[in-house]
Amino acid sequence: MNILQINSSARAGNSHSTRLANAIVEKLRAAHPNAGFALRDLGAQPHPELDENTLGALFTPADKRTPEQQARVALDDALIAEVQAADVLVIGVPMYNFGVPAQLKHWIDAIARANVTFRYTANGPEGLLKGKKVYFAMTRGGVYRDTPADIQTQYLKTFFGFLGMTDVEFIYAEGLAMGPDAERQGLDAAFAQIETAVA
């Protein structure tokens, strides 16, 4: 088993989503002591955004790319290779203004590549990253789970499903900005969920 942990919090320390992601990984590694492990911290090392120059590089045939274009595509290639090699992904996802952090969105844009991680067929799109388990450590200041305001969860289900990753588990810590008692209850609930949901 190969485990890939993705941290996306902008906080270098005191990140609840990173704490939860760490706990998920610890439980996985305890159950699978020989598992491989890789960590990508998008807060500490942000991936560049998808801009016009990047699109130009991606849509230029590989043998015609400039050295600068080759270097830019290589950054995305490295992220794709990490995901392809992983059997289990553990992703820390704080809620920022109802969405995912920009750092995570840049990673998402990088790993979605036609004919590499998905393809279009006569029957519609097909994800090419099948057979992987994904755990999301979701942290929110308020309480949004199973409400219309939780557009974050549906977005992640849709995107990862599009790439073929349909075996997903969401671990929620909510109410973290609603006072000390609510914060403690939210974290306790999340750690309890990890104990039952992570194998």
Nearest to 173 by CA among 21, 17, 12: 17
- The reply, when asked if residue 196 is annotated as ligand binding, is no
- The reply, when asked if residue 127 is annotated as ligand binding, is no
- The reply, when asked if residue 9 is annotated as ligand binding, is yes
Residues 167 and 43: their CA atoms lie apart, in Å, by 26
Residues 20 and 38: their CA atoms lie apart, in Å, by 16
- The reply, when asked if residue 96 is annotated as ligand binding, is yes
- The reply, when asked if residue 123 is annotated as ligand binding, is no
- The reply, when asked if residue 95 is annotated as ligand binding, is yes
- The reply, when asked if residue 29 is annotated as ligand binding, is no
SS3 of 81-97: HHHHHCCEEEEEEECEC
Residues 90 and 73: their CA atoms lie apart, in Å, by 24
Strands 124-127 and 118-121: antiparallel
- The reply, when asked if residue 141 is annotated as ligand binding, is yes
- The reply, when asked if residue 139 is annotated as ligand binding, is yes
- The reply, when asked if residue 8 is annotated as ligand binding, is no
- Strand-pairing partners, residue 121, are 124
Binding residues: 9, 15-17, 95-98, 139-142
Binding residues for FMN: 9, 15-17, 95-98, 139-142
